[in-house]
Chain A
Amino acid sequence: NAGVTQTPKFQVLKTGQSMTLQCAQDMNHNSMYWYRQDPGMGLRLIYYSASEGTTDKGEVPNGYNVSRLNKREFSLRLESAAPSQTSVYFCASSYHDSSNQPQHFGDGTRLSIL
């Protein structure tokens, strides 16, 4: 089982460039999430989609946009990349966005912005 698949795995951008990170899940989950992970900061929620057709801001949404393309796919876009967005980005999914539903993660996209 693939679970949560993220592409690309690595990317280097120049400041000001744009990029879209892709995420797809094959677990028939309704809810999907984008996190960033920085040293000493833990995982911080950027945006989430509780169900197909809805998206909401998380803790650190500035500089990002998202699209819930369909039930399986949830993309994250950086319109004008900044060095502060250098991070590891994780996509996650859960059956529902409720307290008793654990989230399952992909293996991340490592993004460096020069």
Chain B
Amino acid sequence: QKEVEQDPGPLSVPEGAIVSLNCTYSNSAFQYFMWYRQYSRKGPELLMYTYSSGNKEDGRFTAQVDKSSKYISLFIRDSQPSDSATYLCAIRYGNKLVFGAGTILRVKS
């Protein structure tokens, strides 16, 4: 079993839709939770970063962590074609950073 599981998609939505991206993890020692966005032929760029359970909001993006269920989510409101990318969750404990395989998101105009 992978330490971090992420549905690879692709997830295809119309412009303006609310998008929900999810990861599950197996190690309760994980402490820090991140979401990266990766455009085609580019490196991952950090979108959101949190260490506590609950919600963290930044513009159209909301990161949600449920440590009791070992489940993290990224919500994108009013999705735009420019949001089309691969979204990677990444979870850290100690000096170990574990990435999900990424979910491909396509937002159709």
Contacts and interface: CB of A to CB of B under 8 A. Distances in A.
Interface of A: 4, 40-45, 50, 90, 92, 97-100, 102-108
Contacts of A90: 43-44
A100 B44 CA distance: 18
Contact of B31 (A4, A41, A99, A103): A99
B95 A42 contact: no
Contacts of A41: 101
Contacts of A44: 99
B14 to A, nearest CB: 27
A92 B43 CA distance: 9
Interface centre among A45, A90, A97, A99 (most CB of B within 10 A): A99
A11 to B, nearest CB: 15
Nearest to A44: B99
B97 A45 contact: yes
B74 interface: no
A105 B92 contact: no
A99 B88 contact: no
B8 interface: yes
A100 B45 CA distance: 16
A5 to B, nearest CB: 11
A107 B44 CA distance: 8
A90 B90 CA distance: 15
A100 B51 contact: yes
B43 A107 contact: yes
Contacts of B93: 99
A84 to B, nearest CB: 18
A47 B59 CA distance: 35
Given A99-B31, A100-B32, A105 B43 contact: yes
Nearest to B45: A105
A70 to B, nearest CB: 22
Interface string B84-98: 000010101111010
B33 to A, nearest CB: 11
8 contacts: A4-B43, A42-B4, A50-B95, A99-B32, A102-B46, A102-B49, A105-B36, A107-B42
